[in-house]
Amino acid sequence: MELKDKTILVVDDEESFLSLMRRFLEKKGCEVRAEQLADLALDFLKDNHVDLIMADLRMPGGMDGMEFVRAVKEMKYPAEVVVMTGHGTVETAVEAIKIGAFDFVEKPVDFDRLSVIINNALDSGQLKCRIAFLENKIKGYVEFDSVIGVSDRFIETKKLAERIARTEVNLLISGESGCGKEVFARAIHNAGPRGEGPLVAINCGAIAENLLESEMFGHEKGAFTGAVSRRIGHFEHADGGTIFLDEVSELPLSLQVKLLRAVQEKEIMRVGSSRPVKVDCRIISASNKNLEQAVADNLFREDLYYRLNVIELKIPPLRERADDVPLLAAHFVRKHAGEDVKIDRAASEALQNYYWPGNVRELENAIQHAIALMNDPVITADLLPKRVFCSQPKNFAPPETDAFTLKNAQDSVVGDFEKSFIVDALRRNYGNIVKSASDMGITRQTLHKMLKKHDINAKDFKPES
């Protein structure tokens, strides 16, 4: 086992012993974190990664070594604990092993024996990490079969995604909030050549700008106030796998330069270091904002945009694939309430008619809302959130004028009906004007006029090539 780059936490109340251990371990290339108090050591573990923990069993005042081992085990920390005992107190060491310590060394320390134990404990810790990682992966596993949808638009999107999954190109997934961008990102990763590797997600919009760089690329000890030990960033964790940059439009310009370097050179630099580290990961980005517009507004670097968007996968909003609503609703009912709960007809219709500005996430929430309120195993319309229950048929929207006269309402309903009728025809015919006009029983010229009137672009209905 290579000791270089490993971080070891040593907890002992005796300062002279800590210095001795520090010298021994640093000579082997390890990073050492020393703590004299077990409580402080525990606090440190809550926010930091170490590869091995060594703790003295006898620490007078405050938490003793045995309690410390128990607490580390309770928090399921993914590193082994080696305990250190005074001469002739082997029984206590055996107790510690019973509650989960990996091994023990007696003081005064025999450094040859210590080296062997450290190697074994690091090996074992690494294996535990790998198992924890695989278990997590199984929990979050999404393959294309569990990406649900039957509408033509959705099937087209899924087919394109399956084709993209076989490649290694960087991909931009665009679509409104809640429409399934992350679901697709995970499915593409899992089904692709890097499916065995890690998938690491970063939400670029949710992390404060000053922390984002260290989250992404890691930092060296002492790089800034509070950087008490080295930390590996998400890019290094994603080595051999995929990194998912969610809300990529929110990435500050200063970091866009660094990301560009990571994409182009396949190397990153930890904050506070000038040594480049090689990383090999596929980048899937997602955005619910128009990234092209962000480029035009000088908020997003054009060179980075083209690097990230080698291919774009557009996920259509749920309102444009109403055929998916019943299937998704049934899926969420099963997921949250089991097989025996049904959705009645009026509720089904309300779900289909609603506009779903929050897309699939809003649909799942609406179903959960109804399940929480139901008495019998049937979801009725009145159990749905009011905005869904009271939604007008899709073709109806109140006129945009103040005067809510019958004439205005009629014009609006007819206008909306006309628009959705045209959209349906174009969708059926994949944007083919001649076929759509013929379906609708009107001339090509009339259809063109109507497209202009309703600001519809037939090209939007053509399948992605």
**Which residues of this protein are in contact with ligand ATP, per CB under 6 A?**
147-149, 175, 177-183, 246, 288, 360-361, 364
Query: Smallest Cα–Cα separation from 186: which of 246, 253, 259?
Result: 246
Q: Give the residue carrying structure tokens 């439009």.
A: 249
Q: Which does 367 bind (CB under 5 to 8 A by kind): ligand ATP, Mg ion, none?
A: none
Q: Which is nearer to ligand ATP, 289 or 454 (CB)?
A: 289
The token pair that represents 319 in the structure block: 């309102």
Residue in the shown chain whose Cβ atom is closest to Mg ion: 182
Per-position x/- string for 124-163, each x denoting binding to Mg ion as judged by CB under 5 A, each - no binding = ----------------------------------------
Query: Smallest Cα–Cα separation from 423: which of 378, 461, 381, 462?
Result: 461
Residue in the shown chain whose Cβ atom is closest to ligand ATP: 180
- Do residues 365 and 324 lie in contact, with contact meaning Cβ atoms separated by under 8 Å? no
Residues 171-190 that bind Mg ion (CB under 5 A): 182
Q: Which is nearer to ligand ATP, 186 or 231 (CB)?
A: 186
Query: Smallest Cα–Cα separation from 465: which of 319, 311, 272, 326?
Result: 311
Q: Which is nearer to Mg ion, 152 or 182 (CB)?
A: 182
Q: Which does 148 bind (CB under 5 to 8 A by kind): ligand ATP, Mg ion, none?
A: ligand ATP
CA distance 399 to 377: 39
Of how many residues is the chain composed?
Answer: 465
DSSP states of 72-100 as a string? HHHTT-SSEEEEEE-TT-HHHHHHHHHTT
Q: Which does 308 bind (CB under 5 to 8 A by kind): ligand ATP, Mg ion, none?
A: none
Question: How far is C-alpha 281 from the geometric centre of its chain's CA atoms?
Answer: 15
Q: How far is the CB of 247 from Mg ion (least distance, A)?
A: 7
Q: Which does 175 bind (CB under 5 to 8 A by kind): ligand ATP, Mg ion, none?
A: ligand ATP
Q: Which does 361 bind (CB under 5 to 8 A by kind): ligand ATP, Mg ion, none?
A: ligand ATP
Q: How far is the CB of 140 from ligand ATP (least distance, A)?
A: 10
Q: How far is the CB of 330 from Mg ion (least distance, A)?
A: 23
Q: How far is the CB of 248 from ligand ATP (least distance, A)?
A: 11
Question: How far is C-alpha 461 from the geometric centre of its chain's CA atoms?
Answer: 30
Q: Which is nearer to ligand ATP, 90 or 150 (CB)?
A: 150
Q: Which is nearer to ligand ATP, 143 or 280 (CB)?
A: 143
Q: Which does 288 bind (CB under 5 to 8 A by kind): Mg ion, ligand ATP, none?
A: ligand ATP
Q: Which does 147 bind (CB under 5 to 8 A by kind): Mg ion, ligand ATP, none?
A: ligand ATP
Q: How far is the CB of 57 from ligand ATP (least distance, A)?
A: 46
Burial 387-417 (b: 16+ CB within 10 A, else e): ebbebeeebeeebeeeeeeeeeeeebbeebe
CA dihedral of 153, 158, 160, 164, whole degrees rounded to 10 = 160
- Do residues 95 and 89 lie in contact, with contact meaning Cβ atoms separated by under 8 Å? no
Q: Which does 174 bind (CB under 5 to 8 A by kind): ligand ATP, Mg ion, none?
A: none
Q: Which does 149 bind (CB under 5 to 8 A by kind): Mg ion, ligand ATP, none?
A: ligand ATP
Q: Which does 57 bind (CB under 5 to 8 A by kind): ligand ATP, Mg ion, none?
A: none
Q: How far is the CB of 358 from ligand ATP (least distance, A)?
A: 8
Cα angle value 420/426/432 (rounded, 5°): 160
Q: Which is nearer to ligand ATP, 51 or 246 (CB)?
A: 246
Q: Which is nearer to ligand ATP, 179 or 245 (CB)?
A: 179
Give the Å distances, CA to CA, from 132 to 18, 79, 102, 240: 31, 11, 17, 18
Q: Is the preceding omega at residue 108 within 30 degrees of 0, hence cis?
A: yes
Burial-class residue 69 by CB neighbours within 10 Å (0-12, 13-18, 19+). buried
Q: Which is nearer to ligand ATP, 84 or 286 (CB)?
A: 286
Q: Which is nearer to ligand ATP, 180 or 233 (CB)?
A: 180
- Do residues 315 and 181 lie in contact, with contact meaning Cβ atoms separated by under 8 Å? yes
Q: How far is the CB of 245 from Mg ion (least distance, A)?
A: 11
Q: How far is the CB of 397 from ligand ATP (least distance, A)?
A: 25
Q: How far is the CB of 206 from ligand ATP (least distance, A)?
A: 10
# residues near Mg ion by CB under 5 A? 1
Cα angle value 295/298/304 (rounded, 5°): 50
Q: Which does 180 bind (CB under 5 to 8 A by kind): Mg ion, ligand ATP, none?
A: ligand ATP
Q: How far is the CB of 437 from Mg ion (least distance, A)?
A: 39
- Determine the angle formed by the axes of helices 345-353 and 359-373, rounding to 10 degrees: 150
- Do residues 359 and 318 lie in contact, with contact meaning Cβ atoms separated by under 8 Å? yes
Query: Smallest Cα–Cα separation from 24: which of 10, 44, 35, 36?
Result: 10
Q: Which is nearer to ligand ATP, 36 or 157 (CB)?
A: 157
Q: How far is the CB of 463 from ligand ATP (least distance, A)?
A: 19
| Binding positions for Mg ion, rule: CB under 5 A | 182
